[in-house]
């Protein structure tokens, strides 16, 4: 009788354990993907991974290559975690007699109004020596491989450079006197003209493709007007802007970086990662790779850092990664969902602190590009979005209602439907996994 009683208790216990820790059935998830009218209209890839048990749960086209868009920033993030210190290099410098010679390190925060703290600027202004900028360190192109020239006027495509100033953009806004600019147009390199025959429509400022000649409509700017336009980077322009901000600035020279060069550090690296990941900032992503190059004594060129990462830290990805820029603006980037999952596993291990990692990423219903999605009292999605026209992806971490920690990559390419419809279908699938496991 006692044996029978113990046997019954064990059966009940085992059943209750099963109810409290449901097994994730790949067939149910894949059925949702395959029966979706929205997702079946285009190329969809999906991979779901159990972080605790380190095993793949489900996959659809997970070994096929997709255009990742800003999911590429996760590669850049991992490169930063592996190769940057707690704070990024703000400038390299040497002192020679009465001169202070500086080299740009690609720091995107210098004179950038998005960053209130300006430690490098304070050090430069505190120096009583003549300041010279040694230009010509950056050996790459101002645009990444495969970027579109059509977007040169858009806020999300500033040029890359070795010594960024003001984020390599002009911020236009309206005040009582008219159009206000930051930086101010004190430099002869900047010109703001009025177009007499501008086309009708919303008030919009445009820049000449090859110069810093800007054009505004003849009409009055509406109240609250603001616009960001990238400026055309040149040695002369950067030197002029340095002159406006540094009383002891004496011009630019050409000098190789010597062996005894020193470094002033700038922004905390986590601050920079957060500014990149939450709003999906392309400029910061590109400059992080250049900052890595300058910090590690490499040639200051995006492809050099990418090749180094692929050879030394990403050679165990399940599939070959075609990685060409830091931001994902290029459609020549190609990654598979299962490689994205592997990358996230590496990021999780490298970050070493789950709270730190999840704070840096967009959180469902709370921060960044996910603040209006996956709404819940307690965030359960921590992931990076990636969008280009006809493409939308989401890769990151998912906490189920039962406390399981999963990694997922949900990639959608070549759709003709509205992005909002695809995004809503993705949210439906991810939320269902959260609620049912």
Of 230, 249, 277, the one marking the end of a domain is 277
pLDDT score recorded for residue 23 = 72
Give me the count of residues in the chain.
437
249 with 140, same domain: the answer is yes
9 falls within a domain: no
Determine whether 229 is exposed, middle or buried from the number of CB atoms within 10 Å of its CB (0-12, 13-18, 19+).
buried
* Tokens matching residue 112: 């950038």
Determine contact, residues 366/379, Cβ cutoff 8 Å.
yes
Same domain, 306 and 251: no
Domain boundary among 248, 277, 306: 277
The pLDDT of residue 202 is: 85
H or E element: which one contains 301?
none
Name the pTM for this structure. 0.93
Residues 27 and 90 in one domain: no
In this structure, what are the phi and psi dihedrals at residue 383, rounded to the nearest 5 degrees?
-155, 165
Q: Tell me the C-alpha distance between 160 and 286, whole Å.
A: 7
Per-residue pLDDT at 261: 97
In terms of domains, do 248 and 307 share one?
A: no
Residue 16 lies in a domain: no
Radius of gyration from C-alpha coordinates of the chain: 25
Same domain, 56 and 105: no
Same domain, 123 and 255: yes
How many structural domains is the chain composed of? 2
- Describe the strand order of the beta sheet including 191-195 as a list of residue ranges: 191-195, 213-217, 206-207
CA distances from 112 to 60, 125, 169, 209, 291 (A): 43, 16, 9, 23, 16
* Pure H helices in 35-88: 73-83
Domain boundary among 277, 307, 326: 277
- Where helices occur in 219-336 by DSSP H, the ranges are 235-245, 269-277, 282-295, 302-312
pLDDT given for residue 323 in this prediction: 98
Question: Is the residue at 202 inside a domain?
Answer: yes
Element (H, E) at 163: none
- CATH number, domain containing residue 416: 3.40.710.10
Q: Taking Cα atoms as reference points, which of 62, 321, 357 lies closest to residue 313?
A: 321
Place of tokens 């910090």: 295
pLDDT along the chain (437 residues), means of 10: 47 42 81 96 97 97 98 98 98 98 98 96 97 97 96 98 98 91 90 81 92 93 95 97 96 96 98 98 98 97 98 98 98 98 98 97 98 96 98 98 96 98 98 95
**Res 198: pLDDT:** 64
Based on the fold, state whether residues 226 and 342 are members of the same structural domain: no
Cα–Cα distance measured from residue 191 to residue 212, given in angstroms and rounded to the nearest whole number = 7
Residue 5 included in any domain? no
3-state secondary structure of 66: strand
Please state, as a whole number, how many other Cβ atoms lie within 10 Å of the Cβ of residue 129: 16
226-230 and 178-182 beta bridge pairing: unpaired
User: In this structure, are 221 and 367 located in the same domain?
Assistant: no
Instruction: Tell me which long-range contacts 8-11 makes (C-beta under 8 A, separation of at least 24).
Output: none
Range of the domain at 427: 23-81+279-436
């Amino acid at each position: 009788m006692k044996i029978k009683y113990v046997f019954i208790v064990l059966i009940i216990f085992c059943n209750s354990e099963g109810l409290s820790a449901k097994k994730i059935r790949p067939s149910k998830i894949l059925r949702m993907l395959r029966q979706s009218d929205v997702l079946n209209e285009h190329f969809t890839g999906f991979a779901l991974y159990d972080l605790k048990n380190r095993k793949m749960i489900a996959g659809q086209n997970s070994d096929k290559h997709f255009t990742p868009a800003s999911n590429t920033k996760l590669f850049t993030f991992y490169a930063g975690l592996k190769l940057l210190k707690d704070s990024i290099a703000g400038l390299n410098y040497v002192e020679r007699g009465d001169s202070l010679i500086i080299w740009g390190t690609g720091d995107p925060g210098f004179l950038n109004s998005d960053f209130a703290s300006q430690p490098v600027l304070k050090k430069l202004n505190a120096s009583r020596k003549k300041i010279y900028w040694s230009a010509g360190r950056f050996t790459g192109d101002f645009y990444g491989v495969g970027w579109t020239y059509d977007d040169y006027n858009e806020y999300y495509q500033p040029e890359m450079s070795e010594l960024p100033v003001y984020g390599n953009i002009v911020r236009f806004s309206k005040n009582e006197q008219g159009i206000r600019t930051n930086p101010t147009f004190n430099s002869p390199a900047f010109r703001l003209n009025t177009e007499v025959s501008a086309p009708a429509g919303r008030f919009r400022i445009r820049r000449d493709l090859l110069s810093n000649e800007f054009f505004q409509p003849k009409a009055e700017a509406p109240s609250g007007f603001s616009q960001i336009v990238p400026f055309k980077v040149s040695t002369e322009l950067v030197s002029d802007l340095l002159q406006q901000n540094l009383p002891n600035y004496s011009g630019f020279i050409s000098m190789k970086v010597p062996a005894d060069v020193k470094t002033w550090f700038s922004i905390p690296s986590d601050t920079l990662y957060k500014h990149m990941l939450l709003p999906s900032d392309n400029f910061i992503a590109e400059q992080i790779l250049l900052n890595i190059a300058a910090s590690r004594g490499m040639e200051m060129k995006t492809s050099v850092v990418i090749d180094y990462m692929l050879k030394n830290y990403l050679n165990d990805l399940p599939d070959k990664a075609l990685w060409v820029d830091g931001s994902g603006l290029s459609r020549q980037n190609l990654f598979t969902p299962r490689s994205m999952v592997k990358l996230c596993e590496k990021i999780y291990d490298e970050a070493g602190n789950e709270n730190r990692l999840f704070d840096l990423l967009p959180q469902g219903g709370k921060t960044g590009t996910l603040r209006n999605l996956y709404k819940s009292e307690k965030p359960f999605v921590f992931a990076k979005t990636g969008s280009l026209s006809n493409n939308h992806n989401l890769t990151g971490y998912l906490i189920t209602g039962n406390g399981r920690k999963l990694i997922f990559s949900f990639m959608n390419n070549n759709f003709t439907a509205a992005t909002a419809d695809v995004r809503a279908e993705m949210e439906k699938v991810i939320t269902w996994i959260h609620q049912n496991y």
